[in-house]
Every structure is written in C-alpha cells, then in structure tokens.
Structure 1
Amino acid sequence: MTIRYHSPLAQILIISGVCFLCPGMFNALNGLGGAGQLDTRTASDANSALYATFCVFSILGGGIVNVFGVRYTASISCLAYALYTGTYIYYNNTGNGALTISAGAVLGMGAGVLWAAQGMIMVSYPSEREKGKFISIFWIIFNLGGLIGGVLPFAINYYHSGSLTDSVYALFVILECSGAAIALFLIPPTRVVRDDGSHATIARPASPYRESMDVFRLFKNRWMLLLLPMSFTSNFFYSYHFTEYNAAIFNLRTRGFNNLLYWLSQIIGSYMLSLLLDYTQWPRRKRGIYAMVVMAVSFNAVWGCTLIIQMRYTKGGDATDYPGGLVDFKETSRAAGPIVLYFFMGMVDSWYQNIAYWVIGTLTNDACITARYIGFYKGIQSMGAAISWQLSARKLPFMNQLIGNWALLVISLPTMMYTVIQIKEHAMDDMLLYSSSEEEYEDRTAGSCNFNWEMAHMQTQTQAQLKRHMCHSQGAIM
C-alpha cells in the first residue's frame, strides 16, 4: 500500500518516529527512577525545572507552532532532549547536578513546543471516524521508544549495580539527534489532505499578536476550564510510579525490567482502547462514556492495590524498609505481585492519556485551534507534573503522595465525564473549515457552542464531496 506523503497517516508516522526517538528515550530513562542514577534527587530537581518551563511553553506552544510552522520548531525542540541527556555524562564524572537541572529547564521549553506540534498532528489531521486509531498509532510507536530504550540499560546493567554508564547516555544522545533530523520531513498543516479531499486547516500563517490573544482566550474557554482537573492530573502520578514505587522497592536491573513492562502495557492498552473509541456501530458519545467507565474503574482498582503494597514500606532505595529489602525479578514469589501491578499502572495511564486526547479531538477538527487546545492541556499537565516532582524531591512521605494522586484522579473524573456527555457526533467547526472567511471561522469557533450540529454536518458532507470531486478532476495530489 502506497502512503501519500501529504496524507495524515504519513505525517502521524513521521511525528511518531520523532517522539519515539526523543520523548520515548526520555521516558526510558525517567522510568528507571532518577534517570538511571542511584541518587534520584538530581533527576527529581531537573524534572521540576523541566515541568515548570514546560508549563509555560506548552501554553505558548500552540501559538509558536502556528506562527513559525511545525517543521523547524519540532526539529529544534528535539535537540533539547539530546542536551538534557548529555548532561548526565557530565554528572557521572563530576557529581555536579547544576548543569543537569539547567538543561531540564531548557528541555521544558523544547518539549512544550514539540508536544503542541505533536498533538496538533495527531488529533486534527485524521477524520473524525479515525481519531482513536491515529491516537493509538502514535501511542504505540511513541511507547516503543520507551520499550526499546528500556532494553539498553536493562541489558547493559544486568550485572552492573551502579548508575548508568557514559556509553548508555551517549547512545541515547545519538538517537535523540536522529529525531531532530526526522522532524525536518514534516509539512505545514495547510498542505495535509485527508482521503476525502478535505484539509486539516484553512488558516493562513497567523501574526504573533493574534496568536497571543487567541492563547489568552483559552483561559475563558468553557471546555478548557472544564478539563482543567484532567489536564492537571494526567502526568501527576509519574513521579510516584517511577520514584516512590519502581525506584523505591526494586533493584536497578529489575527497575529496567519493569520499565520494559510499563511501556509495553502502554502499547497494549492504547490498542485495546482504540477499538472502543473507533467502534462506529455506537454513537461517539456512547463510546466516550464506556471508555470513561472502563478507565475510571480500572484506575481506582490499581490505586487500591498500590495502597496495599505502600502500607508495607516508608523508605526507598538502598535504605528501603520494604520486607526483605530491594526486590529482584528472579525472586518470583516476592516480585510477581508488585511487577504485575506496575504493568497495570502503565496500562491505565495509557487509557487516561488516550481518552484525554480523544476528548480534546471531539471539540474541533481544525489544526490551528487544536494546537492551542493541546498546548493548553500540556501546559496545565506540566504544572501538575512540576509540583509532583518537587514533592518527590522534597521527600514527602510516600503514603501522602499516594493519597494525593488518588484524590486528584477522583476529582478529575466528574468534569471529564460531563464533557464526554456533551460530545456531539460531529465537531462544530466541520462546516466552517470550508468557509472562505478565516475571520468568521476564528470568531465563531472561539465563541459559544450553541450551534446547529446536524445542519453543519449535512453541509459539510456536501462540501466535502464537492472538494473531493474538484481534487480528483484536477488530478491533484497535494
């Protein structure tokens, strides 16, 4: 099967490859707890700096991508991942974590922009009936980065009990630089043509002033405000998973083994959920409600099991008071339960993240608006992560962190469910994507959601057919 270079599928494969090599490798290191260091304090402080700047540049990221384009912003952002990983070579040889913490702040800037670009491509490029599939494609390839990246430190450190070696970090730097090169193959959203002949966006390059105003308007947007708890919670639990659980009760090689299982479970979970989210025999709202119920029940069950294990220890690492000391995966009787639980932590995380993207994707089909929405989501998400990693760095009692994470999840569910219940079968801006007036489109999509959805869909179908006929009659492959 030939894949058109200007098709949504080709572009999602490119950005998936980029994230496989950059955020995927970062996740492989982070999932080890302490980025592969025995002392997790520097990595936690670096993550706090990372997510603090990530928060700001995610909110601004959608506007930055809309003004400067997706290709070069994504490529430059990837280099920040290589810079951050490279500083651990310096840390290994000097013990000075200042450079790593500073690089974490730089990485937050780059990551905020990269994820805004990624979200725009993943959520707005596909047609409505394929959004779940495209989210799953991205999530599978992206988490293959964490899976394959996790094989390297696991294999190299199988008989090694210290921090990761310089050679491992150097290999990660090379892979992340490769991601920056692949990003140069991305094309502007205005040139992306779906299979039905429609475009991902009609918007011309925006001015910095206008994009700034549109970004600030997000803080008055009804849907963004409803999804604030979801956004804040969606990465909050990573510090607990990676540091207070994986790094606290397992030895180094078992942390690497768990890392493989965590990202494998993300791949499996994402694929499973896509089958439900794209099950067209059911209305879109019904699919969303069922997905929410599955995720909510499963996530609460996982936190309940985690509580049972957490009640057995209060300290982690070499000083852990977990019964029997640090767990090795060869100790089957001790290791099976905690390792299986870690697998399911990754699975329910993938369900939460996929549903979050899917819900945002139901609000709009336009790439420029999606970039702002995803940027806002990632910004608030990063604010929560920055707080979470700082709580971890300050050695907040493990039990307190668990209770806080569980409470945030419960708080986020009602507004997520309310938003899902409001989902219509077709996004409000389907028809407006074909409008000749960009100003009318921007004004109407920025306003209220009181809109004749059925009429919009009927007109959209007619206009899409006309657009497709025109493309074919001209022999256009755009």
Structure 2
Amino acid sequence: MADTTTSTPKEPEVHASSVAASADYHPQKRTWFRTTLFNAFVIGAVGFLAPGLWNAMSSLGAGGAESPYLVNAANALVFGLMGFLCLFGGPISNRIGLSWTLCLGAVGYPVYAAGLYCNNRYGNEWLVLVGAVTCGVSAGLFWASEGTVALGYPEPSKRGKYMNIWLWFRTGGPLIGGAIVLGLNHSGSAKSKGKIDPKTYLVFVALQCVAAPVALLLSPPEKVQRSDGSKVIVKAEKSFRAEFKALWTVCKRKDILLLLPVFWAAYFNQYSGNFTVYYFSVRVRALIGFAGNFATLASSQLISTLLDYKGLPVKRRIELGFYYVIVLHVLAWTYGWVIQEKYTANPPAWDWTDARGFVEGFFVIVLWSFSQQALQNWMYYFMATKTDNISELSRFAGILRGQESFAQAVSFGLNTRNWYGGRVPLAVNTILLGLAIVPTWLAMRDHIPVETDKLAAAADAQNSDEEAAIASQLITSEEREKLAQGKTGPGLVGQQ
C-alpha cells in the first residue's frame, strides 16, 4: 500500500446520542466494481479457483493417490511454508498492496496440481515436492490477504453475511471439482481402493491458472465503497521495519497468546484424509469430496446467521457462538471415536453399494467438517471485532492463518505414518481441542468488540442499563487505538 494511506484524518468523537442520526446518512452514488459485494465476488472467485480446487483434490484423500504418505509429506511442507508466509503476509500486503499479494498468492497452486498429475501417471515424485514449495509460498500470501479482505472490506453489521459469500465461493471449488472427479471416477472399475484417474488433474491445472489474473480486479481498501458510507480504515506503517515491529507488538498481546491453542486445534485434523483412503473405495472418495462440502456450507450459514443477528449485542453473539462450537465438537468427536474403534477392530472397504456401512463412515467426515467450519467462522469473526483498522486486521489474519498452517503441517507430518487404527492422530486432536477451551474462554471473557453496528448499538442501549452506560461514554479515536492494542480493559473505556 502507498504511504499516503497513513494520513487518515482523525475521526470525530462518537456519542450514543448521535448514533440514531447515522440512520439519516445518505452515502454517495457507488461504482459497482468498488462495492463490497463486487470485491467479495473477486476474493471468492480466486478462492474458488486456487485453494478451492486444491481442497477438492485434498478431499479425495491424499490428493487422490493410492497411498497417502508421499502426499501427506508434501502437504506438511506446504503448510510449514504457508505458516511463515501467512505470519509475514500482513506486513507484505501492507507494503505492496492486497491485490498484488492476492495475485502472488494464487500462482503456485497449478504447479502443485501438475505435480500430483505427474506422480499419478508417471510415478514422478520430485515435482510433487517442487509443487509443495511453490504452493506453500503462494498459499501463505493468499490466506493472509484473503482473510483481510473478507473481514475488513464489509460493513461491520454484514461481516457474517460476507464471510458466508466468501465461503460459498471457496467451497464452490470443491463442489465443482468434486463433481468433475465423480464424473471421471464413478464407473464399476472404481469400486475398489486405489488412485484417481490422472485426467482429473489436468482440469484442475487449467482452472487454477485463471486465478492470478482475476486477483488483480480487487480494489485497494481506500477505494472500497461500503453501503453505509463508512470508509475502510487504513493505517499502514511507513516501512517494512515498522511493519514487522507492529507485527511483533501484536504477537506479544495477551489475548493473542491465549488464542494460540485454538488456532492450532481448529485445523489440526488432517487424519480425515487418511480415514477416507483406509476405509472407502475410489468412487466413494470422489462422492465424499463432492457431497461433504454441503456440510461445510450448511455449517457456515448457521453460524453466520447467529453472528450477524442484530437482536443481540456483538459480545453476546460471540459468547453464544463459542458454546455452540463446543457442543458441535463434542458430538463430532464422540461419534468419530466410536466409529474409529469399530473400524480398528474390523477394517472395512466401503463402496456406496454397502448402504449402511457407507453412511455411518460418511457421517464421520460430515460431522468433522461441520464442526470445523463453525469454529473457523467463529474465530474469524472474533478476530475481526478486535480492530477497525484493516492494516492491523491483516496482521491478525496472518497470525491466525499462520498458526493454523503450522498445525496442519505437524498434522500432515503425523499422518505420514500408518498408525494402528488412527488412534494416535485422533488422540492428539482430542487433547488439543480440550486444552484450547479455557484459554479461548478467557480471551473471550475480557474481549471488548471495537466495531459494532451503530443502529444495533443504539437498540441495545435502550434495552439494557449496562449497555446504555457504556454507550453514553465518549470513545475517541485514540481510545479505539488502545482497544485495538489490548491496552484498555473493561470499565476503562472513555476514561482519560
């Protein structure tokens, strides 16, 4: 981003009595390609073409390979590199701009797909590892920039809705990719365990090559036009050194440190790929890769509806979302353990002609996907309410995705071994999820949302004496900055 973005004018003080007046504000006529909806489509399209199709291959179980171990090793490399690039993606995107960061974040994906094709058809292994390196570097930049756009561009009151649009596009990749895979791998010859038809990968390579030019359609944050007339706040640092210093400051914050366990636990479950390889035929793996995405979409829709519900204060939505996610994970992992123990005792090889056995195994993947997506949506929403500055939000998104990536790297590494019955990866996942509950609750308990919908805040103030007392205080731009840095605690808002 250009240095001119650092000179954002000082915001006027906001008083509760002026909140209602915002309803009478009439924003200027907007240009369609600068709107938040258009930019949501851009970020969604790139997510559809790049990581979406990557997920389509991953959902086949080990990228469609006959054995999961080489691909799991490659994916461990992908996510290890991705973790570092995610972490530093915020400073990079703040200096070179989000559109160029997003573009660079898409160029490595087709190389990875090409590596899987060569391995599947010719037994070539080195290109899989080269593709893993290029994909890991690109993916780190992609996720840091994508998360920033998905959370920072929309109006605060519509954040859940736009996260859902973003997810619909990104899940569209596995859906379309899964349909392609299912169409090419549905015959009777795919009733046994094995590998995917190699022609499948050529379609993915062609589609993923389109992602990089589409990324350049993204508007700079300072030019985005929201429907409520508010501006995307940009306060980029003046140099890379200053950016990295700001990143280090965020990394040391108590609330961020408390959230590290849940960042790791959220996406540690990469055993699901091994599970499908161990217990399902090729065409059932293709079917799971397609149909399993509907669980992800349904989960996102439900949690996003809750997080955008204007009848509750933002803090209350976050709390209810947290408890909802816990219940989902208890159900999913209890069921997963029951089925895994059954399969450990008597390993099956299900085809969809085995109706009862196929359904019980399929629901393990469905419940894992459903609970995992609810947790990710909740975490993104929670992080987005910590700041109204998109430059700082890019650092938050980079830390979140970076830690998730490190967790996935370790998880893929763990799953390069053929553990008896999958008990070791399942146990590690369960322990991580349990250890994350208390620190996450502590971070949530002390959290004060920086951004809230103005009209919803006014309604809350009328219905609650406590909310009215908070809303009646003056909140200056300097105090907002303190809130964003975690320096202001409950009861100190508005004090000089």
TM-score range (shorter-chain normalised) is 0.7 to 0.9
1:76-87 map, 5 Å = 76-87=104-115
Does structure 1 residue 155 correspond to structure 2 residue 187? no
Q: Deviation per CA, 1:204-262, whole angstroms, max 9, x where unpaired?
A: 5641111111122232112211110111112101x11121x222111111011112222
Q: Distance in 1 between matches of 2:417 and 2:355?
A: 33
Give the paired residue count: 443
Instruction: Write the deviation string for residues 371-411 of structure 1: whole angstroms up to 9, x where unpaired.
Output: 10010111111111111000100333411111111111111
Give 1:86 deviation, angstroms: 0.9
In structure 1, how many angstroms separate the alpha carbons of the residues matched to 2:162 and 2:328? 23
1:7 matched to 2:30? The reply is no
* Aligned pair partner of 1:120 in 128, 148, 154: 148
| Contiguous gaps of at least 5 residues in structure 2 | 1-29, 455-472
My pick for the range that moved more, 294-303 or 155-164, is: 155-164
Q: Deviations over 1:142-198 (max 9, x none)?
A: 112111111111110112434233321111011111111211101211211322222
* Structure-2 residue corresponding to 1:256: 286
Partners of 1:433 and 1:258 lie apart in 2 by 50
Kept after mapping to 1: 8 A contact 2:100/2:216 = yes
- Tell me what 1:326 maps to: 349
After TM superposition, give the deviation of residue 284 of structure 1 in Å: 1.3
* CA–CA distance in structure 2, aligned partners of residues 288 and 444 of structure 1: 17
Alignment of 1:245-284 (within 5 A): 245-284=275-314
Which residue is 2:403 aligned to?
380
Give yes or no for contact 2:258–2:440 (8 Å, CA) kept in 1.
yes
Please say if 1:53 is aligned against 2:73. no
Alignment counterpart, residue 254 of structure 2, candidates 217, 222, 243: 222
Shift of 1:443: 7.7
Q: Where does residue 375 of structure 2 map in the other structure?
A: 352
Report 1:61-460 matches (<5 A). Answer: 61-159=89-187, 160-161=189-190, 162-204=194-236, 206-237=238-269, 239-243=270-274, 245-314=275-344, 322-323=346-347, 325-397=348-420, 398-427=422-451, 445-446=484-485, 448-450=487-489
Instruction: Mark the CA change 1:432 to 1:263 in structure 2 (over 3 Å): closer, same or farther.
Output: farther
- Kept in 2, the 8 Å contact 1:14–1:182? The answer is yes
SS at match of 1:313: helix
Match of 1:464 in 2: none
What value does the CA root-mean-square deviation take over the aligned residues? 2.6
Distance, in Å, in 2 between the alignment partners of 1:260 and 1:210 is: 45
Measured at CA, do residues 442 and 101 of structure 1 come closer, stay the same or move farther in structure 2, by a change above 3 Å?
Answer: farther
Contact 2:236–2:391 under 8 Å retained in 1 = no
What is the one-letter code of the residue matched to 1:242? Answer: G
Residues 433-457 of structure 1: CA deviation (Å, up to 9, x unaligned): 996x9xx98787446134878659x
| 8 Å contact from structure 2 (residues 474, 494) kept in 1 | no
Q: CA deviation at 1:280?
A: 0.9
Equivalent position SS for 1:14: helix
**Deviation (angstroms), 1:40:** 1.2
C-alpha displacement of 1:357 = 0.5
Q: Is the 8 A contact 1:19 1:142 kept in 2?
A: yes
Residues 42 and 101 of structure 1 are in contact (CA less than 8 Å); yes or no, is this contact kept in structure 2? no
Following the alignment from structure 1 to structure 2, what is the Cα–Cα distance between the partners of residues 432 and 379? Answer: 36
**2 CA distance for matches of 1:366 and 1:38?**
47
Match for residue 457 of structure 2?
none
CA distance in 1, matches of 2:350, 2:240: 53
**Alpha carbons of 1:93 and 1:145: their partners in 2 closer, same or farther (altered >3 Å)?**
closer
| Bigger mean CA offset, 405-414 vs 47-56 | 405-414
Moved more, 218-227 or 34-43: 218-227
Using the size of structure 1 for normalisation, the TM-score is 0.87
Shift in Å, 1:341: 2.9
- Sequence identity percentage: 25
CA distance in 2, matches of 1:153, 1:17: 20
Change (3 A) 1:444 1:411: closer
Give distance in 2, aligned partners of 1:63 and 1:116: 10
User: Taking structure 2 as the reference length, what is the TM-score of the superposition?
Assistant: 0.84
For 1:219 and 1:168, locate their aligned partners in 2 and report how far apart those are by CA, in whole Å. 42
Q: Distance in 2 between matches of 1:228 and 1:118?
A: 20
1:293-352 Cα deviation digits (max 9, x unpaired): 1111111111111111111234xxxxxx744x3101121122121212322221111101
Runs of 4+ in 1 over 6 A off after TM superposition: 430-434, 440-444, 451-454
Shift of residue 122, structure 1, vs aligned partner: 0.9
8 Å contact kept, 1:262–1:345: no
Does the Cα contact within 8 Å between 1:54 and 1:112 map onto a contact in 2?
A: yes
Q: Confirm or deny: 8 A CA contact 1:202 1:433 kept in the other structure.
A: no
Return the offset for 1:92: 2.5
Find the residue that maps to 1:190 and give its secondary structure: helix
Q: Distance in 1 between matches of 2:31 and 2:56?
A: 30
Is the Cα contact below 8 Å between 2:446 and 2:489 reproduced in 1? no
Residues in 1 aligned to 2:130 and 2:144: alpha-carbon distance in whole angstroms:
22
Q: Distance in 1 between matches of 2:475 and 2:53?
A: 36
**Cα 1:364–1:250 shift into 2, 3 Å:** same
Distance in 1 of aligned mates of 2:161 and 2:440: 21
Contact 1:329–1:335 (Cα < 8 Å) also in 2 = yes
Measured in 1, the distance between the counterparts of 2:314 and 2:49 equals: 33
Amino acid at match of 1:202: V
Gapped runs of 5+ residues in structure 1? 315-320, 457-478
Deviations 1:48-91 (A, max 9, x none): 10011011111001111111111122112211001111112221
Conserved? CA contact 1:53–1:106, under 8 Å: no
Whole-angstrom distance in 2 between the partners of 1:248 and 1:24: 24
